[in-house]
Copies of this chain bind each other. A is one copy, B any other.
Amino acid sequence: MREGKVQLIPLGGLGEIGKNSLAVRYGDDIIVIDCGLMFPEEEMLGIDVVIPDVSYLVENKNLVRAIVLTHGHEDHIGALPYVLPELNVPVYGTRLTLGLLEGKLEEHLSGYAADLRVVRPRESVEIGQFKVEFIRVSHSIPDAVAVALHTPIGVILHSGDFKVDHTPVDGETIDFHRLAQLGERGVLVLMSDSTNVERPGYTMSERVVGETFEETFRSSRNRIIIATFATNIHRIRQAILAARRYNRKVALAGRSMVNVVNIAQKLGYLDIPAGILVELEEAKRLPRHQVVILTTGSQGEPMSALTRMAMADHKLVEIIPGDTIIISAVPIPGNEKLVARVIDQLFKKGAEVLYEAVSGFHVSGHPSQEELKLMLNLTRPKFFIPIHGEYRMLIKHAELARELGIKPENIFVTENGQIVELNKKGGRFAGRVTAGRVLVDGLGVGDVGNIVLRDRRQLAKDGILIVVLTMDQESGQVVAGPEIISRGFVFVREAEQLLEEAKEQVKNTLEKCGGRGTTEWTGIKAEVREILSRFLYERTRRRPMILPIIMEV
């Protein structure tokens, strides 16, 4: 690629654009910002996680200089165990971000020696022709940064996930001053978080949740259980401080809660007063008004600690009437019903459940409209590319930028895989690269594609019906079977007659086809499939997968 131009390419993602990974190219240098995973959509049956398709990076492996991380959330770092060995480049990030990544790499790639390089906010590193600068922002995890890529043609500013919290729990506000400085000197292009663009006003400070915790702790005579994301260290910290103030001990439930709290504590992001943390076993023996349990499961995940408590399936925590349960999160789109079910179960056990619809036990980690305007006006970019959001959100964010005076021709609403190419004067869409989703199922990365999924969908909907028979190779006569076996189609014990009739249909078909010889088995199979399909649909209005198998002896 010719110098004097920069290319911005969002990679991967399901509905969201540029969220999970984004490539920036200048000349022969590519820098990757974030590399996160996604959770499968409903129709991706049996899929565990989804990672971005990084074919473009692999094809240009010799140009990729580094991966730069904005913060330690799964959707920004979670694909690295899959992608990093393919690229083998240094990874830059703040201390907590890399601390969380390290745990992940150990778990998935034991023995792999990753080149992790810790950076601090306001620090800059030279990577190829880029000078990469890290700028502190507020978010629902500590140590989050925006990234400024200084290039020969200007500054590319990537906001990361951010919010403007004027009273942050850790005292570290977003680095207004540096953003203002960059704005004053001239930002070529801003790429900014669009997650909450549909919300007017300001996102509330994380501190608000702390105040609500304190109020609840003060007035409650019962055990308190708080479900939240393990990575929301700010919130965990506030829960622990409120516990100390009201003389409660804190116990942790859920594997990732224990893990993340350990890492955060070890790295100095979470200062836990001595003696306040107890094991769940010990918490059981304490008077209930002296206990707070911090747990995973705020999304109603079926295997999470909170869900197991709700279903009376947790070894150490049994919900009893009077327990106060705080769901300190909102359901991620798609999880609404799971969360509602857990809340219902908790109420049925006599617990009091406090959740978002009722009052403020959660604030977002993303910026509302007024914060987005502030980011735009502080940085005054020439070009604007909304990212981190579904397409409709990017459209809204683009409108907002236009209202603030960014020229319409300098705003690019893009899609994953689409190249935005800019020079100092103007920009354009410059084609596409391969991008999208790679499905991970067990140990298989990318091997489950459309054909396997299509089969799973058919199996899921109406099950399978297998017809087996053995034929004599020479005579073409059926010597065993046909046998019919079904799974997930009908309740076999009550459908004996139907399956018997189906067998008759097969026999009739075979008789009609009889004597054709073995060369025509494909034809016979197709005919059996068609006749059975029609027969079963007529009788049941279902379309199971029909699988004829012919053995020869």
Q: Which residues of A contact B (CB under 8 A)?
A: 15, 41-42, 45-46, 198, 333-334, 336-337, 340-341, 343-344, 347-348, 353, 357-358, 390-392, 395-396, 415, 441-444, 447-449, 451-453, 455-464, 466, 468-470, 479-481, 483, 485, 487-491, 494-495, 539-542, 545, 547, 549, 551-553
Would you give the shortest CB distance from A175 to chain B, in whole angstroms? 31
> Are the C-beta atoms of A343 and B463 separated by less than 8 Å?
no
B333, B463, B487, B494: which contacts A340 (Cβ < 8 A)? B333
> Are the C-beta atoms of A449 and B491 separated by less than 8 Å?
yes
The majority secondary structure among interface residues of chain A is mixed
Would you give the shortest CB distance from A411 to chain B, in whole angstroms? 15
Q: What chain B residues lie within 8 Å of A491 (beta carbons)?
A: 447-449, 451-452
B415, B480, B542, B553: which contacts A441 (Cβ < 8 A)? B542
Please give me the 3 A-B residue pairs with the lowest Cβ-Cβ distance, nearest first.
A442-B541, A460-B460, A459-B459
Q: A449-B491, A455-B487, A485-B549 are in contact. Are A46 and B460 (CB under 8 A)?
A: yes
Q: A340-B333, A392-B353 are in contact. Are A542 and B442 (CB under 8 A)?
A: yes
> Are the C-beta atoms of B455 and A490 separated by less than 8 Å?
no
Q: What chain B residues lie within 8 Å of A15 (beta carbons)?
A: 337, 340-341, 344
Q: What chain B residues lie within 8 Å of A336 (beta carbons)?
A: 333-334, 336
> Are the C-beta atoms of A340 and B464 separated by less than 8 Å?
no
- The docked-state distance in angstroms from the alpha carbon of A41 to that of B539 is 25
Q: What chain B residues lie within 8 Å of A449 (beta carbons)?
A: 491
Q: A334-B337, A336-B334, A485-B549 are in contact. Are A358 and B452 (CB under 8 A)?
A: no
B344, B452, B468: which contacts A391 (Cβ < 8 A)? B344
Query: Beyond A198-B358, A448-B490: 20 further Cβ-contacts under 8 Å?
Result: A42-B337, A45-B460, A198-B357, A333-B340, A347-B392, A353-B392, A442-B540, A442-B541, A443-B540, A444-B542, A447-B495, A449-B491, A452-B490, A459-B459, A459-B460, A459-B464, A479-B553, A480-B552, A480-B553, A483-B551
